[in-house]
Structure 1
């Protein structure tokens, strides 16, 4: 039956009207993947030398074992962001005498063909051959390799399970990231335990007793069974049922009711974001950027205001930048319906401002702990928060009137250039350079605080005069709306 499914999927691909475009994209993707795997092989070949230089005086195998859990934690984070869920149009099969087990087995089997599952094996195999095999023998070699394969499969099926849980309820995303942040904090900040020491202890024990490797295969089997049962109980006419319609949506926020029609539009757009892969990945990326400051603020060379301005703009405005650059393509599938509905253009634009304010405020609150690096960091973050709400929101909505490219919300964001056009590249120039054009002249004259104050004043001016700019945007939208709609109809 698995072979039958593969044949059907192949026929569906080659008979599609977009076959030519799909083939080109797959060739490009295959080339990029081969290039990345080649880089992995190069790193793997020299991994013993790299570990020797980074950990002088320490046994190479001990150093390798101490990094394994760190790698798989990072691997899990990347899988959550980039790994696609396996899909199969099950509607034609559910009314036939085909067991759900066969459909689920197909989904599970085809999901294994991913670069994420190949990378840890390619990365560790050369070192195991060069170090473990000659020093410890084939039994320890195979036991370590089996352990790595077991962890790889555990991460694979766990990431599929958690992403499906997030599809139904966004609270699972907060639980997932909260747990990762907790473990990292307990290790690096509170020093209550060491992931590195735990990793080294676990995998060094395998060298003493190779049968311990079976534990990791058992963990992989347990995670597979959890994912299997979840799929079996949620496999309906679509890939997965989205939610029980009798329950209230998680996006029904009473606070938004006070904003009238604009609040209703924001609630609907929150549903759009949480229920679709492409916009939901923007939320994930925005959360990941909250750690951006750790790269700069822990580095003494970035002690000046310039680095704080750069980080503050990105961390408090990352949602505006990432999500706003594809405005109004997120609504491309139902844009014609918006044009003929009772929703006014003014309410439509006000909902965008409200959405930007909502997410940017959350991002600013999440950056408050960076006050640990000094009060000036928090002050600059607040200034850039004002700048993002005042200036960058207007910029992204202005360029939205130049964007005529549709987006398929069901597709992931990884290596997906759908909806990307010239307007995105042009938009990046003023978004990135505008605050520095204001700040640097005064900074060169020896008045960096004056430069920051000027950024804050300009941001406040644009926020106060938002109604004026809103009317300008609506007027331009009325002129461009039919061109935008025509562009969105082209698939």
Structure 2
């Protein structure tokens, strides 16, 4: 039966719209994945020797164990945002004479084979090999086994708290508090946590602790899925009361008003857009990492990069998923007498408004100097004048369905990470550095670099109509492919 499930999974993948993406996209993503793998392998090999050179009086192995807690917390966060949990097409299987236990075990087993569980291996394997070469003995293999069990436990935790915003907020807050306390020298929890991880090496039989945790989490997941493995629970509709909001002030935008009202109601009433809005707010604090750290003080190129992120949170969370936010009623929308350009302009205006709000909220960065505030405001202009268009252009190839009413259950998770987001991120991150750095190098002046970044955004604003017209033509070419992809649920 497991073999049959694997066959069905392969057919579902091969026949889906995602499999029909252009070969060039797959090649670029493959190269990007190879680059990440190479960096992790290189990091696994070099970390020990770098720490040995920088901290000659300390054991590099202990240092790594001390700070692995930050990696575990970050892993929980990026799994929450990116990991697509395995979802068997459960409804047809519920009415077939197939053991419930078999289906659930396959579902859990498939989650273990997720790419997110293999990513840490590209660091742990070479690092463990270095430990063996350095004479740490075969007890290093016990530590390696412990890391695998902890990775598996994190995977199961993500399964249980599937898209639970409270859990995400708790982990994000915990990470922020730990970093703040460590950075301000108030309290450093890493040695205490690190000693527990190091104990897996010094006392290998303690492996039973993460092993029992994995078994317990497996049992909890099995019970959770078994409890919800009923057809009526899948098809039953939920009735939810919503509060009406007075958005009549948007009527002054004419033809754009219906789209703007629809987007604001969508953000207010649905869980997934709310999560994205909260995440975009966190981008405002991104600059603190670079502007307050003396390590980046002389690295001029990092300033425009950080500035674009500070005011571009909404662009990089909500904007990159246009038009997938409308995927559930895209066919209905395309059957109406609506110009694509009107639809695109409404999305553009929404991104512009939120970027302006972010720019206003970033004014406290003047604490780090007027030059920092100016580069942030120039980054806001770049986001408005160029990054908004890049998001809309990336939406031409964005054919991933987003379930706005996603519930905190594994069977309802249809959110996937889109390939075009990787590709469109390259110019979004690279162009601001280019537009800042070229005039900065030529004129040897910070203000000329800021001016170059700001002028690039202003030129984009001046060319708004021809750029939107060009993007509109691309959407028209992909219209029926998009409709077909959004129908493939």
TM-score using structure 1 length: 0.71
Cα pair 2:69 2:193 within 8 Å, conserved: yes
How many residues of Structure 1 are paired with residues of Structure 2 in the alignment? Answer: 464
- Report matched runs for 1:455-470 at 5 Å: 455=454
- Residue 149 of structure 1 is matched in structure 2 by 148
Q: Could you tell me which of 366, 371, 376 is aligned with 1:381?
A: 376
User: Quick one: distance in 1 between partners of 2:218 and 2:443?
Assistant: 59
- Residue 72 of structure 1 is matched in structure 2 by 72
Q: Could you give the per-residue CA deviations for residues 184-216 of structure 1, whole angstroms, max 9, x where no partner exists?
A: 223223x33224312332234445544433222
Are 1:194 and 2:188 matched, yes or no? Answer: yes
Cα pair 2:284 2:362 within 8 Å, conserved: no
- Residue 218 of structure 1 is matched in structure 2 by 212
Change (3 A) 1:469 1:37: closer
Instruction: Tell me the secondary structure at the aligned position of residue 338 of structure 1.
Output: helix
Measure how far apart 1:37 and its partner are: 5.1
Instruction: Tell me the secondary structure at the aligned position of residue 246 of structure 1.
Output: coil
Cα pair 2:250 2:260 within 8 Å, conserved: yes
Measure how far apart 1:262 and its partner are: 3.6
Change (3 A) 1:187 1:226: farther
Measure how far apart 1:356 and its partner are: 1.1
- Report matched runs for 1:235-246 at 5 Å: 235=229, 245-246=238-239
- Residue 165 of structure 1 is matched in structure 2 by 163
- Residue 264 of structure 2 is matched in structure 1 by 267
User: Quick one: distance in 2 between partners of 1:27 and 1:449?
Assistant: 38
Cα pair 2:292 2:368 within 8 Å, conserved: yes
When the two chains are superposed, the root-mean-square deviation of aligned CA atoms in Å is: 5.2
Gapped regions of structure 1 (runs ≥ 5): none
- Residue 317 of structure 1 is matched in structure 2 by 312
TM-score using structure 2 length: 0.71
User: Quick one: distance in 2 between partners of 1:18 and 1:446?
Assistant: 47
User: Quick one: distance in 1 between partners of 2:175 and 2:112?
Assistant: 24
Instruction: Tell me the secondary structure at the aligned position of residue 163 of structure 2.
Output: helix
Q: Could you give the per-residue CA deviations for residues 15-70 of structure 1, whole angstroms, max 9, x where no partner exists?
A: 77987879999899788767755664555455543331232121243233223323
Are 1:355 and 2:346 matched, yes or no? Answer: no
Change (3 A) 1:235 1:123: farther
- Residue 341 of structure 1 is matched in structure 2 by 336
Change (3 A) 1:207 1:477: closer
- Residue 129 of structure 1 is matched in structure 2 by 132
Are 1:408 and 2:400 matched, yes or no? Answer: yes
Measure how far apart 1:89 and its partner are: 0.7
Higher relative contact order, structure no. (Cα contacts within 8 Å, ≥ 6 residues apart): 2
User: Quick one: distance in 2 between partners of 1:64 and 1:300?
Assistant: 21
Cα pair 2:284 2:313 within 8 Å, conserved: yes
Change (3 A) 1:143 1:388: closer
Q: Could you tell me which of 244, 254, 278 is aligned with 2:245?
A: 254
User: Quick one: distance in 1 between partners of 2:170 and 2:287?
Assistant: 21
Cα pair 2:435 2:449 within 8 Å, conserved: no
Change (3 A) 1:349 1:273: farther
Cα pair 1:104 1:232 within 8 Å, conserved: yes
Gapped regions of structure 2 (runs ≥ 5): 252-257, 402-413
